[in-house]
Structure 1
């Protein structure tokens, strides 16, 4: 008995001291409470209702990724393993030959193995960090050009933002030139345009005899995700530019003409101003050509869709060409390079 008592006492001392580094489960739970989700994180109900499309969006867009997992911010070290795991989950779910438990375990394993800093020790049996000086130097050499490129892009954007907000406060002293003119151009996406040479078509799903993937919802979803991923999010100041410039130039456009062009019963001064500010802001902050028809169509569709404007929209109908059998897809437009599809 005395021996057992002594052992228990020894274990108690070890628990109170610095030697015991394995926290109890209750301690881990308490610690997790100190890591609250971000303000915009999905709640438990929202998480339970996630679809494969939601997970696909999380793998493509940072906002959705953060909201799904409750992150306040993310970096490549956590983003890339999560994207790999999500893509594995979606791929196995679409194949339909794996159990839910098998999909979960495989996707989780992909995440664990893609995050060596966090989980490498559990595969190798020893802590792989810090790595050897040679490996660290090699990674520095490999990443330095990309890191410098990103920093240079950020610097260019910061300088542009400081110089072209329409303010008289210039970042350095300069003498005004005679006949001076200033361009105020927003950042444009350098990614390839997914809409280039492509056309959205409607097919009859019931009579389609070709490859089912051509008219699958996933094909259209992936294409639209690429379209959305091409957007360049403007600084909030640029969102105010159109209205400020439109008010200043004082161009008069009859509200009746705007109502006619947008198929509305009437247009008040506020809607007329917002519409023209949107059009003028889009044109005045970039280099042409600018597709005015598409911009106007987008604004018009927004007004006809939003319930707040239902009192001023004219009656109209749009019918799906094949009813419930209509399947929308995106194809290479006639006369375009077939390799784009």
Structure 2
């Protein structure tokens, strides 16, 4: 039996980070909205993630600033002090998120099932998803919708973009452009700068353009400059030159994205932009591009086997140089497929 047989008055979504996971959660939240349009939805999220979801239709966004620690939690609790939700969907199995959930009033606090929970989330929730066979992170989030009584089949996204953001993207991204988003959250999950450069050379040799995107952090700026210095062709460098909504717009305006396991890869999925994902540490069936598994280049299976690890949900391969096992040729083959598919299909922006 579902948790609700009719639309609840109010729901609270607790998913603080990261960008990729928030992208997955958006499709689930918007499925709930489509099924129960009169249900009031509040989403508690992080500061950076708020840039992405702050203007989603009919969602109240409450920002948690983790840099403020306990004071940041109190700020959230104060904003929600007069509200008791019908249910809190606790979609982040992390101790910080669970501590934050403690001060949010809700009749039901729904957490992951026993085979997906961690860091004591079980202690902070009073309703739990059943044991799940769902593998991809998005499908695990979709289990929350199904549990409360909302059907979920094919994910859909509606992330509004302003005319200003659209115009910015059109001004910096020419036709036939592949975006390289080279940086993952940890440097060991980045591909090799010289190999990114070789792929840039290859893309341009096909008559296409290449643009780099990323955050203004010093590590990402440095990685981008290494790629540019190694390449033999001109590259559009947008690293550190976009806010989050502008990043969404340039990804939407492009014809493809090349990235390791990172937020921009999942942003691309929300914009129906093909993604060539590069994976060595994590299982792409769990964290890879949801609709572009055929474009994934993965050596994950090899490393898990070599390290004699059981291929369980969430199992990561360890090592600082695993991404070196991804070859230029294997990525070039996916570039060829992406370009061929673009020629065979109508331009998604036209």
TM value normalised by structure 1? 0.23
Identify the structure with the greater helix proportion: 1
Identify the structure with the greater strand proportion: 2
TM value normalised by structure 2? 0.22
